Structure 1
Amino acid sequence: MAQMRIGLQMYTLRTETANDFTGVLRKVAALGYEGVEFAGYGGLKPDELAKLLHELNLVAIGSHVSIEQLMNKLDEEIEMNVAIGSKYVICPYLEEQRRNSEQAIAETLAVFKEASRRFADKGIQFCYHNHDFEFTEKIGNSLLFDNIVGDTTAEQIAIELDVCWVKYAGYDPVAYIQQYAGRIPLIHLKDLRITEDGKPLTVELGNGEVNLHAVIDAAGAANVNWMIVEQDVCQNPPLESVSTSMKWLREHYLNK
């Protein structure tokens, strides 16, 4: 079993990158992350970002691209992700109006399928990233998650499973990794603590309630390629948080 690679979703550092995109990428590389997943490109042109990634020896895992971008700026997203060498492009979220009926889901999936076809022509796999609502909302008698992945093929839509939000919705992320083994090239490795009033609090790896060891074992068995650290809201300075999570991974995964 090949060792999974470790990446960082740059959304975690959105405040820092807004001030110094290039400098923050340098710090991420220095922390030991092998790759990054983008949520915006810091205003850099495709060739500029490609040159910077090469200089830092960072892999462009892929990019989070909104459905609006897929609909209105698909050519630009293809150009950027081809230039930086992305293997994946991921839709990270669906607003309510794009998921709240059978017609809305049908229209959304039509956008996904066309984008997937265009990305596939360039060797890029299209994926969908979940939150908790995919496991709490239904279309007909089926969970929204099952509508999205059940009405498409693995080639059309692969899964970037966010284990934190599966857990928060009341499901077992390990069971979903096992169920969709071979269709999950990426996971968001994220820890979670539930507050006294029932709200989700994203925390550094090892500081929450997700059984990360079981998730990592299941992901390895399911041939996941990348474990991507993401913390939606950091409880400490974000660069400190992603450093803490990397230290946990070194202790519990990389150096085992």
Structure 2
Amino acid sequence: MLKIGLQLYTLREEMEQDFEGTLRKVAALGYKGVEFFHYFGRSAAEVKQLLDELGLVALGAHRPYDALLNDTEAEIAYNLEIGNHHLIVPYLSEEQRNYEEVAANLKIIGEKCKARGAVLLYHNHDFELTDRYGDRTAFDGLFEEVPADLLQVEMDTCWVHHAGYDAVEYINKYAGRLPIIHLKDLKKHEDGSPETVVLGEGEVNLKAILDAAVQAKVEWAVVEQDYCSRSPLGSVEDSLKWVKAYANQGGNVHV
């Protein structure tokens, strides 16, 4: 059954101000797991103790590409200690988008993760679907060049949609290599620029995406809202309400 987690970047200001209290609120809302992006000075032991107390799973961690490349062993060790096996490249700056070089580095990082029982994933934005890597999209090129046992997919379905592709088709294409998706909604302004919104308040076909994710045996659907026009905590609460309504209508998700 598909489990529902939260990318804590949505609550970045709250996390910085009150790390422990914010995680308590996330657990109280009913999220089953959390995806980290920063630890705000807490040791792995401190984080693990708090997660155990709250019954939360560390489902993944977005860590800077440079950190994963240059401090691989330390990144793996910290995450294994908190119970997380998914180390995720979250973003490439424009200067980093030499995809041939990135693919070679992902193989190196992926080998080190595999040796320690961890898994490397890559999280997309829209540019991987508009940039080219040879005669392919950068998205497809990276996953074709790096073997599946060294690199798994964390698909941000909203950015696939925004880039003009069918997120359901992409989920089906990468089924079996796709342990995590990001579940996000957006609406477009008149100039075409996107604004992330609470689930169900935008244009993304979230039900079709979740249905496809269940069929593809995705383990986690991670709620994320890059920017919130109202309270971030209220926003992630309302997004979870949407997921619960989907579950009540027969959706095979654990909430």
Scaled to the shorter chain, the TM-score interval is: over 0.9
Q: Could you tell me how far apart the structure 2 residues matched to 1:225 and 1:136 are?
A: 27
Does residue 1:170 correspond to 2:164, yes or no?
Answer: yes
Q: TM-score, normalised by structure 1?
A: 0.95
Greater Cα shift, 28-37 or 192-201: 192-201
Letter in 1 for 2:19: F
Aligned match of 1:81: 79
Deviation at residue 254 of structure 1 after TM alignment: 5.8
Residue correspondences, number = 250
Counterpart of 1:149? 143
Helix, strand or coil: the match of 2:209?
helix
Q: Does 2:129 match 1:135?
A: yes
Matched with 1:64 is 62
Secondary structure at 1:121 match in 2: helix
What does residue 28 of structure 2 align with? 30
* RMSD (CA atoms): 1.1
Pick which of 46-55 and 139-148 moved more: 139-148
Per-residue CA distance 1:2-46 (angstroms, 9 max, x = gap): x10000000000011111111100100000000000001121101
> Is contact 2:100–2:133 with CA below 8 Å preserved after alignment?
no
Q: Distance in 2 between matches of 1:83 and 1:67?
A: 20
Deviation at 1:110, TM superposition (A): 2.2
Once the two structures are TM-superposed, the CA of residue 71 in structure 1 deviates from its matched residue by 2.0
Amino acid at match of 1:246: L
Partner Cα separation in structure 1 for residue 161 and residue 135 of structure 2 = 21
**Superposed structure 1 runs of 4+ greater than 4 Å apart:** none
* Match 2:39 to one of 30, 38, 41: 41
Structure 2 length-normalised TM = 0.95
Partner of residue 92, structure 1: 90
Question: 5+ unaligned residues in a row in structure 1: which ranges?
Answer: none
Q: 2:199 aligns with which of 205, 225, 241?
A: 205
- Structure 2 residue matching 1:28: 3-state secondary structure: helix
| Cα pair 1:70 1:111 within 8 Å, conserved | no
Kindly state the Cα deviation for residue 112 of structure 1 after the two structures are TM-superposed.
1.3
Q: Which moved more, 1:236-245 or 1:68-77?
A: 68-77
Instruction: Tell me, in whole angstroms, the C-alpha distance in 1 between the residues paired with 2:109 and 2:144.
Output: 18
| Cα distance between partner residues in 2 of 1:81 and 1:121 | 14
